Structure 1
């Protein structure tokens, strides 16, 4: 059953027999209903299916980004922003031959417009995210210096994207984007665009580069500092210093650092007490 929401002059939405109707961008369309084919697919058909699958896998993770990125060129057209994004990638971003098709991430475009692109953009990996930077043109007019930055990071292994649609001003020259923990340890690809506040102008996206594998698990400044300190102590430990292990362990080494063959057990006596006091004085200094 189909519906005509606007009466006899309105477009058909739904199926009537072998015909289905739908509305896209305010325009009504009718097409023959798709049927499952029983004929084996040709190599060309299989190749086209893989192309759409590879491209769709990436674009589906960033629908809001490309919807804004290709909105202007799809405006008043019969195709959507999503279709425009996929069409561009099909023509320019695929590499290899079926059945080994994959994406050339440096050729991917996620926005298209007339604003100047980012100049010499770079991205650096931080503890909990990525820091984007780009050159500032001091001679640019105010309206060319104040668009907002759009940032995106894509993780192919996860088939996920993380992005911001309205970041820092272009004349800031830098912006930070925090990333979820799930992105740790994976290869990431970064992109940058600029867009005006009224969304009436946008730049082509620029590929910033690959920044992975990212976030090596278990690494932070405190752990690095502790490890370096332990390494320094291991260089100076001797059998004599380990002799009084009960005294020295809390100060400079861990249990794992003690090897059984180096430990010398002694009974408390006056000689031990004198040596222990001397060691304590050195530690306090």
Structure 2
């Protein structure tokens, strides 16, 4: 029910319109309507694919925002997430509807021309994930003080852990002691330059079981 503010403004729904008081004054918008038609099978599939991708990516947004927003095509957090979701929708979904799944190796958390980590790998060592890579310097598009971020993601618990080290160090450890035993952990690596203005394409380092 609408609430009268004065003779010319109101808040709430009144018929087919909704009155709202925003930071820049009063405005009116159309009242949202429920669709009258039953969605088609194709529409249901599209919605299921999008829900699957966004459910996977949302806990990783703090990694995705900088990893995609530095690109000219993704200047905001929303456009950065949209770019990551678009890549996943086109490359990371497996199976046939309604039995859909995500291939984590095809998910991208950052995108760019910076050289990634050569011979990178990850293994579980006690209650930590240890990631190692070759510390040799690339001939181009890379520097010794580039920041390597190792991301450990538990998709079942929606938890994300990360550790950072310079490219020249060649190793970083991420504490996973709070993750339940038996958890599947997905490990990614992203590299950024010293100014966080350039990124590499993220690398998938594999699945580990806690």
Q: Give the stretch that moved more between structures: 150-159 or 60-69.
A: 150-159
Q: Is the 8 A contact 2:130 2:172 kept in 1?
A: yes
Deviations 1:176-226 (A, max 9, x none): 1112422431111110011122111111100101112x1xxxxxxxxxxxx
Match of 2:206 among 197, 206, 209: 209
Deviations 1:146-177 (A, max 9, x none): 1111111122222332224xx11001111111
Q: Is the 8 A contact 2:93 2:100 kept in 1?
A: yes
5+ residue gaps in structure 2?
A: 1-19
Change beyond 3 A, Cα 1:207–1:76: closer
Change beyond 3 A, Cα 1:104–1:142: closer
Q: Is the 8 A contact 2:186 2:206 kept in 1?
A: yes
1:17 paired residue number: 29
Distance in structure 2 (CA, Å) of the matches to 1:141 and 1:97: 42
1:52 paired residue number: 50
2:66 paired residue number: 68
Task: Indicate whether 1:114 and 2:113 are aligned.
Answer: yes
TM-score by length of 2: 0.81
| SS of equivalent residue, structure 1 residue 70 | helix
Structure with the higher strand share, 1 or 2 = 2
Change beyond 3 A, Cα 1:3–1:139: closer
Task: Indicate whether 1:185 and 2:182 are aligned.
Answer: yes
Question: What is the total number of aligned residue pairs between the two structures?
Answer: 190
Change beyond 3 A, Cα 1:59–1:76: closer
Distance in structure 1 (CA, Å) of the matches to 2:78 and 2:182: 38
Change beyond 3 A, Cα 1:36–1:15: farther
Distance in structure 1 (CA, Å) of the matches to 2:27 and 2:98: 35
Q: Is the 8 A contact 1:155 1:183 kept in 2?
A: no
5+ residue gaps in structure 1?
A: 8-13, 19-32, 215-285
Deviation at 1:77, TM superposition (A): 7.1
Change beyond 3 A, Cα 1:83–1:174: same
Q: CA RMSD in A?
A: 2.4
Deviations 1:67-126 (A, max 9, x none): 111111244479621111111111111111110111011111110011001112110101
2:17 paired residue number: none
Distance in structure 2 (CA, Å) of the matches to 1:142 and 1:44: 43
Task: Indicate whether 1:176 and 2:173 are aligned.
Answer: yes
| SS of equivalent residue, structure 2 residue 33 | coil
Report which of the two structures shows the higher radius of gyration computed on alpha carbons: 1
Distance in structure 2 (CA, Å) of the matches to 1:112 and 1:208: 16
Task: Indicate whether 1:82 and 2:81 are aligned.
Answer: yes
| SS of equivalent residue, structure 1 residue 91 | helix
| SS of equivalent residue, structure 1 residue 114 | coil
1:202-241 alignment to 2 at 5 Å? 202-212=199-209, 214=210
